[in-house]
Structure 1
Amino acid sequence: MSEPGFVMRSPWYDRVREGLDLRAPLARRPRIQMYDSSDFVERLIEDPADSLVFGDDDVWTYPVPVRPHVTDDTRLRLATSRLVKTNLRKLYQPLHERFYVVVVEVFCDVPGLPRAGSHDEISVGFRMRRLHTSLTAKGRPARRVAANLVADLAKEQGLGECVPISSDVRDVWWANEAWRRKFNEDHAADLAEIDCHTDIQEWLLSPKGSGRWRTICDVSDPVIEGEKEQIIQMTRLPVREKDKMCAEDAGPKGPGSRSLWFGVIPTYSGDHWLAPQPGGRRPEIERKLDDHAIYEIECVVAQAREGCPTLTWVSAPTEPFRLADPMDPAGTKNRTVTIILPDLRRLAARASEKQGPGGVRIVTPPDSQFKMNPFSGIPKQGEGRIGAGAAVCTYAIELFFIVAFFLFLLFLPIVVLIFQLWWLLALRFCIPPRIGFTAVADFVATGKVIGGAGWNATLAAELDITLGSDLRDVPVPGGWADQLVAAKDPSGAFIFKNDAKLTHALVVSTDPGDAAQPAPLPHKVSPADPLCAVAPGPLASPGPHRTKHSL
């Protein structure tokens, strides 16, 4: 007779919060928990039940082009796209100040599912699986389906008129069965021409350390000798701090009888692999983890046996999720990076001293020197030459930054004006050295336009400062005010000259006092432990509908 095995369930505190019995389908899933600081492991050990609540930003979204209402005079007038939400979970990067763990509780697989805290011969890990969707369809039906998917979502979320777009079906094929059933009925003709298939893939590591994604059970792509699926080890959680005294009093049937494990979820990887391409094309280098694939996590209990193969038991998968890319705007807004420009006065004083060995050291390889005359303007085609090179120069890092910031200030207005990307100005704001912004805002709030009656040099200077360009005492005319007055659309019509509401939207979007201060993220309720003999608080009792083994 074989020895009893193990099963895995959601951690006890999630089951208490949601009133779940151990036999409930939702209780079979390991849980993903979110934190907003790098000390998340310490916080997890102190109280694993105290994590952050997933909010509106924590689901996957798709940008949908919209036509702004001409009567709108807020920053929404500048936004040519809006975000459509789905039900798919999104995990951010550590540089977004977001960190994630997966938590699971282990039980003995015998009637009653007793807690497995007494078993110290087991280890627990998790594996990340990739859901890869392949499509076979003619281009037009596939594009129509993708566009209709996003358009229907936008309509359902009240985002107004949506401009038709062409998307990748694989990027918008998300799991919401009730909604998708209705969509299938409405677009049956196009869907009939699309063959959609989703494979589950595993990340295999070779003995040399390289890795690759492989479709499970694909007989055409067998596992190579020595390859093994990557298993990330998990750590057992101790009794939480506030229950330690209770655990001592309760003995072997108290909180110490639990087998609760956690593992840190990798949301970024520097690994790459050679991905096969359809049609027999050459394999291409792709990232191991990207923002297009859908992932899920399975936990694995392993029990080693002397002289015999290791026994393993696998949990149900977590909820599926996608990973945010490093430049995701909803993620970068969570972390402030302050850069202080070099102090020119200090640099001038340093110029009187001997240079130290530090700085940016630039090595020019032989026959790799760009030769040009920087004093004669931008070289024309064919005027550049390649010199001998083989030189080593060291520059103060401040010098590089000064030149780079100068180029940024020089090209920002050019990019905004040439491509008419006015919404770029709403992504930044400057704090003027005086309170003149209020005068500009009051002026446009009365329905007046830039350059119109009542507009003066003082207001023009304040507008320049607000937009990041201090042009006072600069002898060249033509600041932001003049540029906006002269701006025309492709048809030749003036954009701001006669549109007071658009002018107001542009100004108020750069208000330095309009920055939204992030509110503290809500924490999940940390329930009292039902295994404690005396547990204060409203959740002290598991309730009459739960059995002793349900928690």
Structure 2
Amino acid sequence: MSAAHTWRLVGPWYRWPRPGHPDDGRVAPPAIQKFAGADFITRFLAEPQRSLQYDEQIDVVQSHDLVPARGLSGKLATLFALDARGQPLAKGSPETAYRARLAPGALRKLFQSTHDRHYLVCCELHCDEPGFPRVARQRVCQAGFVLRRRRSVLPPGLDAAAVEAQAAPVRHAEADWLDLCTLQATAEDAMLTAAQRDAAARRLDDLAAQAGLPDGASLLASRRADLARQRQGFVDWQRAQGVRTEIDGWFPLGHGSSVRRGEWRLLDAVAQAADITSGEQTYPLHALVPDPRLPTHDAAGRCFWYGVVPTQDLQHDVQGQPHLDDLHTYELRCFVRAHHDCPGRRGLQPDCHGPLTWSRATEAFRLAPHFDVQGSANRPVTIKMPDLRDLAAQAAARPRGRLSPVRFVQPQHLSPKELGGEAVCSFSIPLITIIALFLLNLFLPVVVFLFQVWFLLAFRFCIPPQIKIAMDVDAALAVTPPGVDFEADLEVQAQGLADSAEALRKLFLEGGDDSPQTLVDRIHEDTGNDDEIHLDDLDNNALASIGQNFADAKALAPAADGGLQPPEVGEVLLEEPHVDPVWSPRRSA
């Protein structure tokens, strides 16, 4: 074999529809594999196909769908609801109130390394001949990949509003499907009570019966198939309208490893397959050479390559816009260069200018922002607040300043009246932590109320103390959504229970029929503080938030020490199932 144009750079055999079958491999694009943990390279080298599964609800770019907020009235409706444009609905507005639902799309999302997610692009090199034999690794002069940006260009006469109108039904179907998946997950969640699971299962079966299907599993399968058809229909519509995709390549400005500036340039069809010596930024592919003593290794008998997918860097253009962000869509293309027939240049990489072979583009993807809620949850952080009694004892036992290691040097001392000279102040880390938490708790309700973003309270989860109150208090709190400012005449009804905010407040102050002890009494008992507590002045939003905490705590499983077991955070890690090749690899002649 002497002509490199007969080479095929394709995805790894275990990601082909029929693992290892040549007919499937010839058109397979390189695969982007997902991993967790800092030792992902070591684990990949040992068993390449052992990567994590992509979750079809989490590892995708998500949007939101607006639906009418039925069953809500007055202040409750305007608190959470949006108008038809997705903006907060003004109080007293006659417009129909809408609420937002999450709609997971089909576009892949890659998380950041700070989210404990890492990605490798993997490919194999074969000869495009009968049997699809591998290429000898020694014949490859250079291997790498490029990261390119995709942009959709609308034809004349087609505006963004028309595209949005065409995409709206797809998002609605995505949100409906997610609602069903959430209902099924609730029915199978072992952390919930049997009554909660049974209620979710009955609701799922009722929806299936309304659709004329035997059970919830059939309903989910039907909705999934409908969603796939709608997504394909949207793609076909774009193609029929003449929507095209343009590809940009990143070209660094300058030379050397310290270059941080560059620019995106449009690549035409010729430039996309041109020689990489044109100046486009490349990333290396590394050869995976398995231990010859392991004949069953996934890369045994194959010309296997992999590279680390960049999800962040420090490069930017001349306007200061970052090279990589969460707003644009990207793709990867791998390449290999064959050794030229002439002698190579010693000590240079590449050592010759042999012909280039490109792979197909990988699946398109976007990058998650650094503060992505789902990504950040993959790295739980526990901060143990200091015990004030211990701090008091330690402060009394040590000279002043001995426990203050954080030093602030102020060239000009700031005072309310005038600037003074240099000042040096030392602080203890527990003091800084306590003040920071105090400010968070102080300003959280201010920000939530000022900007009417009550839904942000859902991102705060507190396990309340084990306060024993009447069961009717617990039942009333369990149906109280977070952050709702209930009017006294607004009834909260669920499963036959009807209580107004005034009745709820009365239970806090006077107790119930089953227990004469009030919340005020329990606070006095637990804290030893006999100061008068005016719960009647407590805002209803605080009562509702406390109620949500009690409801969340009720759903928690008991821990071994008799307390409450916190819920799981982050994504559940599931590995791709192991597959065996249906066709043994053949060596190149």
Matched, 1:523 2:558: no
- Whether the 8 Å CA contact 2:331–2:365 is kept in 1: the answer is yes
Q: Deviations over 1:490-509 (max 9, x none)?
A: xxxxxx8xxxxx99778635
| CA deviation map 1:148-167 (0-9, x unaligned) | 52454214642799xxxxxx
Partner of 1:263: 307
Going from structure 1 to structure 2, the CA distance change for 1:148 and 1:67 (only over 3 Å counts) comes to same
Q: Deviations over 1:48-98 (max 9, x none)?
A: 1111111121111113344444379xxxx9794221122111111122222
Aligned to 1:7: 8
Task: Tell me, in whole angstroms, the C-alpha distance in 1 between the residues paired with 2:542 and 2:300.
Answer: 73
Q: Deviations over 1:33-57 (max 9, x none)?
A: 1122222112211211111111121
> Paired residue for 1:207?
255
Q: What residue number does 1:377 align with?
A: none
Q: 1 CA distance for matches of 2:382 and 2:460? A: 14
- Aligned positions of 1:71-470 closer than 5 A: 80-119=99-138, 121-133=140-152, 141-143=159-161, 145-146=163-164, 149-150=167-168, 152-155=170-173, 157-158=175-176, 178-180=232-234, 198-205=245-252, 206-208=254-256, 209-217=259-267, 228-239=279-290, 244-246=293-295, 256-274=300-318, 284-305=319-340, 306-307=344-345, 308-348=352-392, 349-350=394-395, 352-356=398-402, 359-366=405-412, 370-372=414-416, 387-388=419-420, 390-436=422-468, 439=471, 440-444=473-477, 446-452=497-503, 455-457=507-509
Letter in 1 for 2:234: R
Deviations 1:191-233 (A, max 9, x none): 7xxx9654211122330513323224479x9x9xx98322221
Q: 1:234 to 1:414 in 2, by over 3 A?
A: same
Aligned alpha-carbon RMSD (Å): 4.6
Instruction: Letter of the 2:147 partner, please give it.
Output: M
Quote how far apart the aligned CAs of 1:358 are: 6.8
Counterpart of 2:124 in structure 1: which amino acid? E
Structure 2 length-normalised TM: 0.65
1:477 aligns with 2:477: no
TM-score by length of 1: 0.69
| 2:311 and 2:324 in contact (8 A); partners too | yes
Instruction: Answer yes or no: is the 8 Å Cα contact 1:64–1:82 preserved in 2.
Output: yes
Q: Which residue of 2 aligns with 1:380?
A: none
Letter in 2 for 1:44: F
How far did residue 442 of structure 1 move?
Answer: 2.2
Indicate conservation of the 8 Å contact 2:331/2:363, yes or no.
yes
- When structure 1 is superposed on structure 2, of 35-44 and 302-311 the one drifting more is 302-311
Q: Distance in 2 between matches of 1:507 and 1:217?
A: 57
> 1:325, 1:93 → 2: CA distance?
8
**CA offset at residue 177 of structure 1?**
6.7
Give 1:259 deviation, angstroms: 1.1
Contact 1:207 1:227 (8 Å CA) reproduced: no
**Structure 1 residues 397 and 458: CA distance shift in structure 2, 3 A:** farther
Contact 1:21–1:27 at 8 Å: present in 2 too? no
Maintained 8 Å contact 2:401/2:426: no
Q: How far 1:179 moved relative to its partner?
A: 2.2
Match of 1:34 in 2: 34
Contact 1:126–1:232 (CA under 8 A) maintained in structure 2 = yes
Query: Structure 1 28/182 Cα, relative in aligned 2: closer, same or farther at 3 Å?
Result: closer
Change (3 A) 1:179 1:388: farther
- Residues 183, 70 of structure 1: CA spacing in aligned structure 2 closer, same or farther, 3 A cutoff? farther
CA distance in 1, matches of 2:519, 2:113: 38
502-511 or 340-349, which deviates more = 502-511
Q: Could you tell me how far apart the structure 1 residues matched to 2:235 and 2:294 are?
A: 52
Question: Cα offset for 1:331?
Answer: 1.6
- Give the partner amino acid of 2:172: A
Q: What CA deviation, in whole Å up to 9, does each residue of 1:454-475 have, x standing for no partner? A: 5123879869x99xxx997665
CA positional deviation for 1:182: 6.5
Cα separation, partners in 2 of 1:392 and 1:178, compared to 1, 3 Å:
same
Pick closer, same or farther for the CA change 1:287–1:245 going to 2, 3 Å: closer
Letter in 2 for 1:409: N
Q: Which runs of 5+ in 2 are unaligned?
A: 74-78, 82-98, 180-228, 346-351, 479-496, 512-516, 558-565
Separation in structure 2 between the aligned mates of residue 513 and residue 476 of structure 1, nearest angstrom: 30
CA contact (8 A) 2:315 2:322 kept: yes
For the Cα contact (< 8 Å) 1:451–1:482, is it kept in 2?
A: no
1:280 maps to which residue?
A: none
Preserved CA contact (<8 Å) 2:312 2:324: yes
For 2:53, what is the secondary structure of its paired residue?
coil
| Aligned residue identity for 2:439 | L
Flag structure 1 segments of 5+ consecutive residues without an equivalent: 162-174, 249-253, 275-283, 373-384, 488-495, 497-501, 531-541
Q: Distance in 1 between matches of 2:294 and 2:426?
A: 62
Distance 1:36 1:239 in 2: 22
Q: Which residue of 1 aligns with 2:217?
A: none
CA contact (8 A) 1:131 1:201 kept: yes
1:513 is aligned to 2:556? yes
Instruction: Say whether residues 1:47 and 2:103 are aligned partners.
Output: no
Q: Which amino acid aligns with 1:13?
A: Y
Q: Distance in 2 between matches of 1:227 and 1:370?
A: 56
Counterpart residue number, 2:64: 63
Taking the aligned partners of 1:127 and 1:88, their CA distance within structure 2 comes to: 20
Instruction: State the alpha-carbon separation in 2 of the partners of residues 478 and 411 from structure 1.
Output: 21
- Give distance in 2, aligned partners of 1:78 and 1:65: 12
